Structure 1
Amino acid sequence: MKRITGIVLLLAAPFVSKSQDWHIGGTAGISNYNGDLTEKRVDFTTTGPMIGLLVKRDVNRWLTLRGGFTFGLIKADDKNNSEASLKARNLSFRSPIWEGHLGAELNILDIDDRGFTPYVFGGVALFSFYPTAKDSSGARVPLRRLSTEGQGLPQYPERGGQYALHQISIPFGVGFKYLLTDRFTIGFELGLRPTFTDYLDDVSTTYVDYNTLLAERGQTAVDWAWRGDEVHGGSYPLDGAKRGSAKYKDWYTFTGITFLYRLGGSSGGHRSTNFSKCFRM
């Protein structure tokens, strides 16, 4: 019976848990943004820093659960766009991103046997953002409260209220991890974050009426809703003129190096000991 049990366990080894080690560590790299102020899906002129903490738990050789907290800084400026109409619009923004995420990784190889593995991952995240723009003195001006596109104004009920600064994103991506030692793992990861908001950059639809915005939010709101006069003069656009596009929601991206420390012993050693016991008489 012991021999039969041992053979069954050996055949099932690829599908059962071989280790439930915990890993703790961090990540550091860059943040990117895609939205109404970029022309390309990935635009490295919008690059900002990123840093975060990670916790992972190996369920088996193929599946790893993960969670973490990440801080990134996203930004964009129409001055970096090549299209004339975007340059003339002359909008810009910067926003911190604070994210907490939970998810899972699907490992392609057995990292304890090979020493490395590529992987794919997915999950869900809660994040916060706060778009600002810089004035001539270098001070940061919060944009949300200005209702630059009529959010929260009774004259534009179709715009709804002020957009929420806490939102959901869907992280997914690819990575590669390598065992430096039995305890330490180093890796590289590219993670995309599609969101359900079009206001990471405070830009989404059309300009609203000059007099309405002036009466409801004041001259500061008018100045930051329309900034084309800073580069080419001209007058404030007509109500309904295109300012952005609501066709696609905004994205942000985290790319970086990961460093992890394994809590617990060598999972490989534990496997060898456990399976050898099954064949003892």
Structure 2
Amino acid sequence: MKKITWILLLTFLAPLCVFSQDWHVGGFLGISNYSGDLAQSRVDMRYTRPALGLMVKRDINRYLTLRAGLNMGHIAAADSTNESKLLVQRNLSFRSVIWEGNLIAEINFLDIYDKGFTPYVFGGIAVFSFYPTTKDSLGNTVTLRRLNTEGQELAEYPERKQYNLTQFALPFGAGVKVMLSDAWTLGFEVGIRKTFTDYLDDVSKTYVDQDLLRRFGQKSVDFAYRGDEVNGKGLTPGVYPADGTIRGSDKHSDWYIFSGLTITYRIGGGGSRGPFGRQKFSSCPRY
């Protein structure tokens, strides 16, 4: 009777314990890019900047991995390098540091512990912070948000509230990872972040009346439109546009992208070895 009980118990548990939930720790090293109102093309690779991060992963089974990560990258763009003379004449620019915390699910197409590699797709949720700045004509750093360059918080523009510097994003993308050994895994991925703000670059809607904007100080007017600083490229310095003139486009939110290499170290797991000498998941007791 005791033997039959053990057989029944193991038969019931077998489907649940074929794969253990193994932990990995690792890092990310790559590049960051931006897509928004100051990029004439979808992504301007000339403004590629470095990015790095840390992550913790847990294998739920051979096809599903959950991970939590912390990433840091830089994004930037400038009208001065656009081909359109209208954009060059606008003469805006920005740069920002992106800090991101994320929770992501990876869907693996293959059993990496059997095949030694697998392509994968991923998606999840992230919280990130940004802080758009620019440089003045002397090279000094200027913080853009506090200047309210599009009339944020003016009573005459009640729909223009100040944007938050901490926002949610939806990360998604694809990659491939390869086992270097039982413990180490190397990967490459491209991860796109859909945000819900159009102000990564401090540009979104239309110009506001400069006399009203001057309530925040002359500096707000100076950095809302910088066409008067244009020099060269066959352009002449411009004048501040009329109220309601298009400054950016609020039809689409801004995006940022993290791409690069991942390296992880497996700190959990055990069990028998499969093909290629790689260790399969196994959390079941042996009898």
Aligned residues: 273
Confirm or deny: 8 A CA contact 2:18 2:283 kept in the other structure.
no
RMSD over aligned CA atoms reads: 2.2
CA distance in 1, matches of 2:272, 2:188: 23
Displacement of 1:140 after TM fit?
A: 1.0
Q: Matches of 1:33 and 1:165 in 2, distance apart?
A: 16
**Cα 1:276/1:200, change in 2 over 3 Å:** closer
Query: SS where residue 251 of structure 2 aligns?
Result: coil
CA distance in 2: counterparts of 1:73 and 1:239, whole angstroms: 32
For 1:114 and 1:190, the matched residues in 2 are separated by 22
Q: Map residues 146-225 of structure 1 onto 2, 5 A cutoff.
A: 146-160=147-161, 162-214=162-214, 216-225=215-224
C-alpha displacement at 1:17, in angstroms? Answer: 5.0
1:153 positional shift: 1.3
TM-score (ref. length: structure 2) = 0.89
Counterpart residue identity of residue 169, structure 2: S
- Tell me, in whole angstroms, the C-alpha distance in 1 between the residues paired with 2:147 and 2:66: 41
Q: CA deviation at 1:154?
A: 1.3
Give the partner amino acid of 1:201.
D
Instruction: Give the TM-score of the pair, scaled to structure 1.
Output: 0.91
Deviation at 1:46, TM superposition (A): 2.1
Change (3 A) 1:158 1:179: same
C-alpha distance 268-150 of structure 1, shift in aligned 2 (>3 A): farther
Q: Is the 8 A contact 1:21 1:267 kept in 2?
A: no
Q: Compare 34-43 and 199-208 and name the one that shifted more.
A: 34-43
Aligned position for 2:67: 66
Distance 1:187 1:87 in 2: 39
Contact 1:19 1:267 in 2 (8 A): no
Q: CA shift at 1:159, angstroms?
A: 1.0
Conserved? CA contact 2:207–2:241, under 8 Å: yes
Q: Pick from 238, 242, 247: which aligns with 1:243?
A: 247
SS at match of 2:159: helix
1:230 aligns with 2:234: no
Q: 2:176 is matched by which residue type in structure 1? A: F
Query: Using the alignment, how far apart are the partners of 1:272 and 1:221 within structure 2?
Result: 60
Shift, 1:42, TM fit = 2.3
Distance 1:25 1:107, change over 3 A: same
Once the two structures are superposed, the pairs formed by residues 1-281 of structure 1 within 5 Å of their partners are 12=15, 18-160=19-161, 162-214=162-214, 216-231=215-230, 232-266=236-270, 268-269=272-273
User: 2-side partners of 1:49 and 1:219: how far apart?
Assistant: 34
How much has 1:7 moved relative to structure 2?
8.0
Change (3 A) 1:29 1:47: same
Task: List runs of 5+ in structure 2 lacking aligned partners.
Answer: 231-235, 274-278
2:233 counterpart residue number: none
Given residue 207 of structure 2, which amino acid in structure 1 is its aligned partner?
Y
Residues 120 and 241 (structure 1 numbering): CA distance in 2 closer, same or farther, change over 3 Å?
same
Equivalent pair of 1:197/1:250 in contact (CA under 8 Å): yes
Mapped partners of 2:31, 2:69: distance in 1: 16
Give the fraction of aligned pairs with identical amino acids, expressed as a percent: 56
Name the one with the larger helix percent: 1
SS at match of 1:141: strand
Q: Would the alpha carbon gap of residues 47 and 17 (structure 1) be closer, same or farther in structure 2, given more than 3 Å must change?
A: farther
Distance 1:54 1:272 in 2: 21
Letter in 1 for 2:197: T
- Call closer, same or farther: CA 1:238–1:21 in 2, change over 3 Å: same
Alpha-carbon distance in structure 1 between the residues aligned to 2:271 and 2:62? 10
Q: What residue ranges of structure 1 are gaps of 5+ in the alignment?
A: none
